[in-house]
Amino acid sequence: MKDEHSLMACSAIEHNAMLCFHAIAENASSPSVLYRPVLSIDGNQWCALYGEDLQSGVAGFGDSPGAAMSDFEKNWATPLPNSPGGIALAARVKP
């Protein structure tokens, strides 16, 4: 019976290790990790900015650095309004 419990424990550890590995790999390839936007305080919020300024770069804002990075991730994936993807997105959003 001891061997059976040891095998179950090893299997559970292996499964959890794989879950951790996949989570780390997914996070390591996110835009905020790859491009490392600069964090600064802008008024009463944190700003994560990649680029020289807000007009030509990508930014995210939030009450914490993590929230700013999450907003940056969302904005990184958002197409420009006048691009084909942005026009298609706007058409889907209209009521």
Q: 41 and 80 in one domain?
A: yes
Which domain does 91 fall in, by range? 36-95
1 vs 71, higher pLDDT? 71
Lowest mean pLDDT among 22-26, 63-67, 75-79: 22-26
For range 8-33, the mean pLDDT: 88
| Distance separating alpha carbons of residues 20 and 62, to the nearest angstrom | 27
Both 12 and 26 in one domain: the answer is yes
Q: Are residues 48 and 74 in the same domain?
A: yes
Q: Are residues 58 and 77 in the same domain?
A: yes
Closest CA to 55 of 83, 73, 31, 80: 80
Same domain, 8 and 26: yes
Report whether pLDDT(45) > 80.
Answer: yes
Task: Look at residue 85 in the predicted model and tell me its pLDDT.
Answer: 81
Tell which residue, 26, 84, 75, has the closest CA to residue 51: 75
Of 42-51, 61-70, 75-84, the range with the lowest mean pLDDT is: 75-84
Do 26 and 54 lie in one domain? The reply is no
Same domain? 9 vs 54: no
